[in-house]
Amino acid sequence: MQKISGGVTVAAGFQAGGIACGIKKNGQPDLALVYSEAPAVAAGIFTTNVVQAAPVVFSKQQLRNDTAQAVILNSGNANACVPDGTATAEAMARAAADFLGIPSDAVLVASTGVIGVSLPMTKIQQTLAGRPEFISAEGGRAAAQAIMTTDTFPKEAAVEFELDGRTVHIGGMAKGSGMIHPNMATMLGVVTTDIAIDAAMLKRALRRAGDLSFNRVTVDGDTSTNDCLLILANGKAGNASLETDGPEYQLFLEGLITVCQDLARQMARDGEGATKLVEIKVTGAATESEAVTIAKSIATSNLVKTALFGEDANWGRILAAAGYSGVTFEPGRVRIYLGDLLVCENGCGLVFDEARAKRVLEQSELLITVNLGAGSAEASVWTCDLSYDYVKINGSYRT
């Protein structure tokens, strides 16, 4: 398994691109298209929010046949909680289909941006009707840029590996900086691969990869109306189709998890106003589920996150957040590490070098480990610190 540069166009037979069509007031790119030259097996996972944007509902319906050939995405407007949302999502699919010369039922739709404002669909239609040459096999980066909202950089990841004597590629792009919480986040993600795989196995792999990546990243505890992670597999690698579990499927799953975790970590690193990427790792748990629950509780604690911003080794906040997670454990067995510095043992504080702790917390990437002393299960959740700038960004998001 080798990480490589690139995103949604590293896999054979995929093109992508991004263009400005006037949705964003600042004139930046706001429309992206990902296209497979051949029909692809497809799957998706979506927000768990009861309030779901029209593109989420529409793409769920489109995936009933487990196939797709393109994804059209826009930023700057969520197409959520508006009376014309469904019609707009359908019109986006038709516009992309006409542009690409494929059936409209082969197009998935995703949107991100302000909620409650009608999407100016005519701008998208007019832009695509002009037949701009903006998609290509080198257009993955432009597509990743076009889906950004408050993101400060485009997010891409890719891997390649040998399978069945063939070179297989998996590439992805994502956006997300705020309104991010486990069980999806304010994120759009598109993953492409040239592997040949059965629809049921692709769904299974995406669910597991999503659980280990995008469902384990949190910035601010808010779950969006528009979250979606979509995957297209067009079979261009020419391998024997993966129909059952086995070594080949597990290798593909490893690659998919690698790409998704890379993108999830980038999202946490780029959290609105964030200065640090933080991994909360819970070890010594009785079960993986309990480790995940405790890690999420710590990762979403505003008191923990503000202490990390202030570079204050306030480990008591970490233990307290674990304690209210809903998981029962023995506090007298807990050890807490900031980096490799032990600050709490058997549930009690230690005398430690404050200057050394400060140096650990000054790092742009840091690891907090909580060992429960209760078993062998473990899990990680990625988060970031909570800074002054988070309030500034979200205090004026609509304007």
Is 272 part of any domain? no
- Dist CA 58 CA 362 (whole Å): 45
Structural domain of 312: 277-394
pLDDT digits (tens, 9 = 90+) for 247-291: 999 999 999 999 999 998 888 777 666 788 899 999 999 999 999
H-assigned helices in 150-214: 199-211
Indicate whether 331 and 221 sit together in one domain: no
pLDDT digits (tens, 9 = 90+) for 86-98: 999 999 999 999 9
Q: How confident is the prediction along the chain (399 residues), in pLDDT tens digits per residue?
A: 999 999 999 999 999 999 999 999 899 999 999 999 999 999 999 987 888 899 999 999 999 999 999 999 999 999 999 999 999 999 999 999 999 999 999 999 999 988 999 999 999 999 999 999 999 999 999 999 999 987 888 999 999 999 989 999 999 999 975 444 445 445 799 999 999 999 999 999 999 999 898 888 875 555 667 888 999 999 999 999 999 999 999 999 999 999 999 998 888 777 666 788 899 999 999 999 999 999 999 998 989 998 989 898 999 999 999 999 999 999 999 999 999 999 999 999 999 999 999 999 999 899 999 999 999 999 999 888 887 766 666 665 555
Residue 154, both tokens: 């485009």
Indicate whether 48 and 151 sit together in one domain: yes
Is 399 part of any domain? no
H-assigned helices in the chain: 54-62, 85-100, 121-129, 140-146, 199-211, 247-269, 288-299, 302-309, 315-323, 354-361, 388-394
Indicate whether 261 and 315 sit together in one domain: no
Indicate whether 41 and 107 sit together in one domain: yes
- Dist CA 40 CA 37 (whole Å): 9
Indicate whether 108 and 175 sit together in one domain: yes
Q: Among the three residues 267, 292, 311, which one is the final residue of a domain in this structure?
A: 267
Indicate whether 251 and 334 sit together in one domain: no
pLDDT of amino acid 165 = 92
Longest dimension (CA), the chain: 68
pLDDT of amino acid 394 = 60
What ranges make up the beta strands (E) of 118-245?
155-163, 166-175, 188-193, 228-233
pLDDT digits (tens, 9 = 90+) for 171-228: 999 997 544 444 544 579 999 999 999 999 999 999 999 989 888 887 555 566 788 8
Indicate whether 214 and 298 sit together in one domain: no
How many domains are contained in the chain? 2
Indicate whether 356 and 231 sit together in one domain: no
- Dist CA 73 CA 226 (whole Å): 11
Burial class of residue 351 in the structure, from the number of CB atoms within 10 Å of its CB (0-12 exposed, 13-18 middle, 19+ buried) = exposed
Indicate whether 237 and 348 sit together in one domain: no
Indicate whether 236 and 360 sit together in one domain: no
Residues in binding site: 149, 175, 186, 272, 394, 399
In sequence order, the 6+-apart residues with CB closer than 8 A to the CB of 396 are none
Is 258 part of any domain? yes
Q: Which active-site residues does the annotation give?
A: 186
Which CATH number is 296's domain given? 3.10.20.340
Burial class of residue 383 in the structure, from the number of CB atoms within 10 Å of its CB (0-12 exposed, 13-18 middle, 19+ buried) = buried
